[in-house]
C-alpha cells in the first residue's frame, strides 16, 4: 500500500512523534525525559479539544516530519471584527530541514484561511527575515521598559484594586474582550489563555473591580534579581489591560507602591508613548546614545501580519473612514508566495469612504510587496516611509501626501495575544 504524503490534522496516535519533533526543534522548551514528553502530549491533547485551534502535520511517505498549530482568531480591524488566522509552533524534523517542509506548511495555512473567510494572517517569527520572504509584514514595535516602581507615575488612590481569583475568570475575560473591541489590532485570546493563567503557579493577577465588573488588570510574575538574594525581586508584567484612565491610574498606583520590595518593573508594550508616564524615563543602564540621548528602553520586532485576500480585506473595511480622503487608486500587490493574491485592485474613495466597487478608472497607481502592504494597511508603517525607502512605488510623486493620509492611523495596532 502506498504511504500517504500531504498535510492533515495530526491524529492522536501520532502525538508522540509530534512531541519528538517539537522537543528537538525547541530545545529551550526542555522536553527531555519520558515524563516531560508525557506531560506535553497531555497538554497538546487538551488544547486540541478547543474548537478554535488545531494541530496540523506534514507527512511524507506516511511519516510525520513537520508540525504547526493553527488558530482561528478575530481581530479588531479599525473597529470591525474580522477573521484572522494565526500560526505557531512551526517545527520540522531535524532530518528534514531545508527540504521546503515549512514552505509547504505555510502555503497550506494561507490557503486554508482564505477558504475559512479570513483576509489576514499573523505570526510571531523566529526570524523576521525568514517570514518576510514569505510575505509577512512587520507589525508595531515592542518596547521593553525596565522601570523603578517609584518612577512609575505616582502613588494615588487604589481602592478598587483587588487580588483576582478563579471566581473572577468570567469578568476578566469580559474585560479583555471589551478592550479588544476598543483598540485597533487587538485579537481574541488564545482559547486556553485563562485556563493557563490560573493554572500557572507563579502568575499573580490584580484587577480593578467596580461592582461586579473588572475594568482592568495586570498579570505578572516575580523574578529574583540575584541568585544569592531572595529578597530582591523584579515584577515581570505579562499583560496590562485598562479600559479608561481612572483604571490606569489605580493600576499604576499599585505598581508604584511596590517600591519597598521591588527592584524594577519589566514591561513590554506597543504603546508608543509609555515613556511619558515615567518620572524618570531612563532604564537604569546609563547608556547614552550618540550624540546625547538617554537609553529609555530596548525594542524588538514581534507580531507580523500578512494579507491573504486583498479584495476581501477592503470589503471587510467598508466602514473604515480613510481619513476623509478622496481619490481613485490602483494598488498593485506583488505576492510571489501566494499566487492567487498577486495582482491589483482599483478602489474609489470619496470623503474617506470606499464607494463604487468594480469601477475601472483610476488617477494614481502604487506598487508594493504584500508584506509591506500588510504593514501599511494595518498601520504599522506609513506610505511616505515605504516610498522614501523604495519599498513602494507610485505613478506620480504628487500623490505621495494624499496616499500617505489615506492610510494613516491614529494609533498603531496593538496585540497582547500570544500564540
Ligand X SMILES: CC(C)(COP(=O)(O)OP(=O)(O)OC[C@H]1O[C@@H](n2cnc3c(N)ncnc32)[C@H](O)[C@@H]1OP(=O)(O)O)[C@@H](O)C(=O)NCCC(=O)NCCS
Tracing cell 476623509 back to the chain, one arrives at 324
Strands (E), 314-377: 327-334, 343-350, 353-355, 364-369
337 interacts with ligand X by CB under 6 A = yes
Residue 372: CB minimum distance to ligand X, A:
13
CB nearer to ligand X: give 97 or 232.
97
Burial 196-233 (b: 16+ CB within 10 A, else e): ebeeeeeeebbbbbeeeebbbbbbbbeeeeeeeeeeeb
CB nearer to ligand X: give 91 or 255.
91
403 interacts with ligand X by CB under 6 A = no
| Cβ-proximal residue to ligand X, closest one | 102
CB nearer to ligand X: give 139 or 207.
139
Beta bridge mates, 223: 234
Residue 95: CB minimum distance to ligand X, A:
11
Cell of 328: 481613485
CA distance 311 to 347: 10
Residue 398: CB minimum distance to ligand X, A:
32
**The Cα angle at residue 305 between residues 354 and 386, in degrees rounded to 5:** 70
User: How distant, in Å, are the alpha carbons of 24, 71, 115, 313, 367 from that of 330?
Assistant: 46, 32, 25, 15, 9
User: How distant, in Å, are the alpha carbons of 48, 78, 178, 336, 367 from that of 182?
Assistant: 29, 9, 6, 35, 32
CB nearer to ligand X: give 133 or 232.
133
Residue 333: CB minimum distance to ligand X, A:
13
CA distance 283 to 266: 10
Print the binding letters for residues 21-60 with ligand X: x by CB under 6 A, - otherwise: ----xx----------------------------------
Residue 3: CB minimum distance to ligand X, A:
20
Q: Which of residues 128-147 bind ligand X (CB under 6 A)?
A: 133-134
Task: Determine the size of the site formed for ligand X (CB under 6 A).
Answer: 18
5 interacts with ligand X by CB under 6 A = no
CB nearer to ligand X: give 374 or 404.
374
Print the binding letters for residues 195-234 with ligand X: x by CB under 6 A, - otherwise: ----------------------------------------
CA distance 19 to 12: 11
Print the binding letters for residues 95-114 with ligand X: x by CB under 6 A, - otherwise: --xxxxxxx-----------
CA distance 164 to 311: 44
CB nearer to ligand X: give 92 or 414.
92
* Stretch in the footprint of ligand X (CB under 6 A) among 84-92, 285-293, 323-331, 407-415: 84-92
CA distance 252 to 23: 39
Residue 31: CB minimum distance to ligand X, A:
13
Please tell me the total number of residues recorded for the chain in this structure: 419
Helix axis angle for 34-48 and 15-25, nearest 10°, is: 110
Residue 187: CB minimum distance to ligand X, A:
17
Contact 65, 25 (CB under 8 A): no
Residue 258: CB minimum distance to ligand X, A:
35
CB nearer to ligand X: give 22 or 197.
22
CB nearer to ligand X: give 168 or 335.
335
- One residue of 126, 181, 287, 389 binding ligand X per CB under 6 A: 126
Give the interface with ligand X as residue ranges (CB under 6 A). Answer: 25-26, 90-92, 97-103, 125-126, 133-134, 336-337
Amino acid at each position: 500500500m502506498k504511504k500517504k504524503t500531504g498535510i492533515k490534522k495530526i491524529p492522536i496516535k501520532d502525538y508522540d512523534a509530534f512531541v519528538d519533533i517539537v522537543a528537538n526543534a525547541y530545545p529551550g522548551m526542555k522536553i527531555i525525559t519520558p515524563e516531560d514528553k508525557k506531560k506535553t502530549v497531555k497538554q497538546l491533547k487538551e488544547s486540541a479539544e478547543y474548537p478554535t485551534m488545531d494541530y496540523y502535520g506534514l507527512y511524507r511517505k506516511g511519516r510525520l516530519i513537520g508540525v504547526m498549530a493553527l488558530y482561528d482568531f478575530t481581530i479588531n480591524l479599525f473597529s470591525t471584527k474580522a477573521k484572522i488566522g494565526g500560526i505557531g509552533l512551526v517545527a520540522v524534523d531535524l532530518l528534514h530541514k531545508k527540504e521546503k517542509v515549512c514552505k509547504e506548511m505555510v502555503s497550506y495555512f494561507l490557503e486554508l484561511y482564505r477558504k475559512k473567510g479570513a483576509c489576514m494572517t499573523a505570526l510571531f517569527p523566529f526570524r523576521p527575515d525568514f517570514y518576510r520572504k514569505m510575505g509577512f509584514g512587520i507589525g508595531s514595535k515592542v518596547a521593553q521598559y525596565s522601570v523603578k516602581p517609584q518612577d512609575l507615575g505616582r502613588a494615588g488612590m487604589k481602592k478598587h484594586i483587588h487580588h483576582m481569583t478563579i471566581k473572577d475568570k468570567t469578568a476578566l475575560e469580559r474585560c479583555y474582550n471589551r478592550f479588544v473591541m476598543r483598540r485597533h489590532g487587538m485579537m481574541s485570546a488564545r482559547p486556553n489563555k485563562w485556563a493557563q493563567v490560573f493554572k500557572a503557579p507563579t502568575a499573580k493577577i490584580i484587577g480593578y473591580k467596580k461592582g461586579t465588573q473588572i475594568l482592568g488588570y495586570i498579570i505578572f510574575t516575580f523574578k529574583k534579581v540575584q541568585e544569592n538574594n531572595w529578597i530582591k525581586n523584579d515584577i515581570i508584567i505579562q499583560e496590562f489591560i485598562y479600559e479608561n484612565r481612572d483604571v490606569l491610574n489605580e493600576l499604576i498606583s499599585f505598581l508604584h507602591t511596590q517600591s519597598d520590595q521591588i527592584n524594577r518593573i519589566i514591561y513590554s508594550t506597543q504603546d508608543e508613548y509609555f515613556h511619558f508616564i515615567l518620572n524618570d524615563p531612563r532604564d537604569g543602564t546609563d547608556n547614552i546614545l550618540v550624540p546625547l540621548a538617554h537609553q529609555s528602553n530596548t525594542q524588538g520586532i514581534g507580531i507580523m501580519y500578512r494579507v491573504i485576500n486583498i479584495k476581501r480585506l477592503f470589503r471587510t473595511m467598508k466602514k473604515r473612514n480613510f481619513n476623509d480622503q478622496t481619490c481613485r487608486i490602483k494598488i498593485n500587490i506583488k505576492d510571489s508566495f501566494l499566487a492567487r493574491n498577486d495582482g491589483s485592485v482599483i478602489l474609489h474613495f470619496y470623503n474617506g469612504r470606499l464607494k463604487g466597487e468594480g469601477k475601472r478608472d483610476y488617477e494614481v497607481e502604487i506598487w508594493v510587496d504584500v508584506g509591506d502592504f500588510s504593514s501599511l494597511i494595518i498601520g504599522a508603517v506609513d506610505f511616505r516611509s515605504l516610498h522614501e525607502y523604495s519599498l513602494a512605488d507610485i505613478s506620480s510623486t504628487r500623490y505621495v501626501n494624499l496616499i500617505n493620509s489615506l492610510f494613516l492611523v491614529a494609533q498603531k495596532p496593538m496585540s497582547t495575544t500570544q500564540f
